[in-house]
Chains A and B, each alone.
Chain A
Amino acid sequence: MQALFGKTLDELQSLVVEMGLPKFTGKQIADWLYKKKVASVDDMTNLSKKARAMLSENFEVGTFPPVKVQKSTDGTKKYLFPTAHGKYIETAMIPDKERQTVCVSSQVGCKMGCLFCMTGKQGFNGQLTAGEIVNQVQMIEETDHITNIVYMGMGEPFDNLEEVLKSIDILTSDWGYAMSPRRITVSTIGIVPALKRFLNESKCNLAISVHTPFDDERQKLMPVQLAYPLKSVIDEIRAFDFDSQRKVSFEYIVFGGLNDTSRHVKEMNRLLNGVRSHINLIRFHPIPGTPLEKTDEQRLQRFKDELNNKGLLTTIRASRGQDIYAACGMLSTKGLQKDS
């Protein structure tokens, strides 16, 4: 059985036409899948009986529920979903006043091996399909109240760009969830060819993981630096003509005594010269076996102030879901798989 969920309008239309059904059936199916959120082909009641019978022979809706949910003391939730590879992925739901942000995964594990990341430690186990990405939005309890989506869960979205772009198409098109692309942020460590395509083919916001402006330091934290140096990522952003609505932010995990000095402030200022941007400082939560340390609050505040004084708009992101390992870089299914 093939899943209908995760197909774009074009794909649904060609599929029905191939079956000898009218093209508009494709639009009706999209409506049932992404707006009415049905669980079975039989529930698509405005399709003819014949159409439903034909569809059911080879297709199912193909959504699947989480197998486990954990709730943090601060209200953050972590959902564990199975994937077609027989592995699991995590999705975090972060409520914050009127905002309901869902943080989706884009890959099963990750190939990038960043030193500070739990996901990286489990290696790469496969790509998620667009359906598996959107399923994380559809199959959580809060699905009808989501205000923002961030691609900051497990995996590097730009290493699975095709499926990520397809999922964005489903989330932002009128025939899909019709969400504003301004409410979607894709976070990347900066794979330049994919970055170019993303900038041209989507209107979503972008978050770049910087973590240090110095090449040698970044290389040790993030091996990707060897192939796609940060400077080439920033050059790409500088060259792109952003409209006033589209946001670019720079993510900066602060490690105690490593990347929070005045030298770093100066270099960030030099690097981001001429780039309209917002820096998000993120507290590092030490993960098992890491050589990196947490920063102290005073130092963090001072670092933020120094960046702001240079004219770089900088805020500190509130830590959420630490107790259930739902914070940035802490998503890993290694332990959870056993007890699910």
Chain B
Amino acid sequence: MFSVYMLMSIKKKYLKGNHYLFENRVVDLEEIAEGKFLLWFEKQFNAKAGHVVAIAADESHEPRIYSLCSSEKAQNMQILFDLKPDGVLTPRMASLKPGDVLYVSKPYGSFLPDTEIPMWWIATGTGIAPFRAMLQSGFKPAMLLHGARVASNFYFERDFKLELKENYIRCNSGSNGQGDFFGRVSAWIDAQDELPLSNKYYLCGRALMVVEVRDLLIAKGVRYENIVSEIFF
């Protein structure tokens, strides 16, 4: 429910791109791995697991989009972001302090979990964010594959391991470190003789992984209608 408290806390809004952005305050920022940050900010609107928000540091630039990684029920909202040193927004977000102003849209999107069909979640890098939101909000997949090049980028691995046990597979494509499989997520999928064809496959992350995995799934008999992709372009 949209509470009175929420309404009172919403201050200024302006239109940028196709979004109204609302003045928001940073609650906390933590660097959880080199160049990877968790950012908490005020919850002004309710969100569904899988939603994204558009964020800007000020009124001068176009907002960027981020998947929420916090639970639907959490008190504050949270995103996981990757610092792009030459980028417009992420260097500024990486130096935010609690209380600083940030402009955030209403949550939106349709990368939403299915409650009827078993889901497979497949992510690379920060593409794990919406799945963390789903898990924290009470959704569980039949399988979660997460690809990363270094073990420190298996974000939220404790939460996933605890909840999903052997249905959580860390695919480490780097040269060393921890993982359950050494290679890319596409290699793990390719090595499977059979995939559950009636499941719904959620892919999130970089374009190359998404198109590679989507092609592989289709080649293995999954109908493309059962594949939902979110690309962090």
Q: Give the interface of A toward B (CB within 8 A).
A: 110-113, 115, 120-124, 159, 192-194, 196, 215-216, 219-220, 223-228, 232, 235-236, 289, 291-292
Contacts and interface: CB of A to CB of B under 8 A. Distances in A.
Contacts of A112: 207, 231, 233
Contacts of B215: 121, 289
Nearest to A115: B224
A193 B16 contact: yes
Interface in B164-221: 206-208, 210-212, 214-215, 218-219
A120 B212 CA distance: 10
Nearest to B109: A226
B155 interface: no
Contacts of A225: 110
Contacts of A289: 215, 218-219
Contacts of A193: 16-18, 62-63
A257 to B, nearest CB: 13
A159 B207 CA distance: 13
A123 B230 contact: no
A322 B62 CA distance: 38
Interface of B: 16-18, 52, 62-63, 65, 109-111, 206-208, 210-212, 214-215, 218-219, 223-225, 227-231, 233
A125 B17 CA distance: 26
B227 A220 contact: yes
B130 to A, nearest CB: 10
B52 A227 contact: yes
A80 to B, nearest CB: 21
Given A192-B17, A219-B228, A236-B18, A123 B211 contact: yes
Contact of B18 (A124, A223, A228, A292): A228
B228 A111 contact: no
A220 B230 contact: no
B18 A111 contact: no
Contacts of B219: 289
Contacts of A159: 233
Contact of A113 (B218, B224, B229): B229
A321 to B, nearest CB: 23
Given A121-B215, A193-B18, A291 B224 contact: yes
Nearest to B225: A220
A224 B211 contact: no
Nearest to B209: A123
A228 B105 CA distance: 14
Contacts of A115: 214, 224
Given A113-B207, A115-B214, 5 more contacts: A112-B233, A113-B211, A159-B233, A228-B18, A291-B223
B210 A113 contact: yes
Contacts of A196: 17
A225 B18 CA distance: 13
Contact of A121 (B17, B211, B223, B225): B211
Contact of B208 (A123, A223, A228): A123
Listed from nearest, the 8 A-B pairs whose CB atoms lie closest are A123-B208, A193-B17, A111-B233, A193-B62, A192-B18, A111-B207, A223-B229, A232-B18
Contacts of B17: 192-193, 196
A194 B229 CA distance: 22
Contacts of A219: 110, 228
7 contacts: A111-B206, A113-B214, A123-B211, A223-B229, A224-B233, A226-B52, A289-B218
A192 B206 CA distance: 20
Contacts of B211: 113, 120-121, 123
Instruction: Name the residue in A196, A228, A232, A291 with the highest tally of chain B Cβ atoms < 10 Å from its Cβ.
Output: A291
A124 B224 contact: no
Nearest to A228: B18
B231 A111 contact: yes
Contacts of B111: 226
B63 to A, nearest CB: 7
B112 to A, nearest CB: 10
A113 B228 contact: no
A196 B16 CA distance: 10
Contacts of B223: 291
B109 A223 contact: no
Given A226-B109, A291-B224, A110 B207 contact: yes
B87 to A, nearest CB: 13
Given A193-B62, A227-B109, A124 B230 contact: no
Contact of A226 (B62, B218, B227, B230): B230
Contacts of A110: 207
A316 B225 CA distance: 27
Nearest to B223: A291
A223 B231 contact: yes
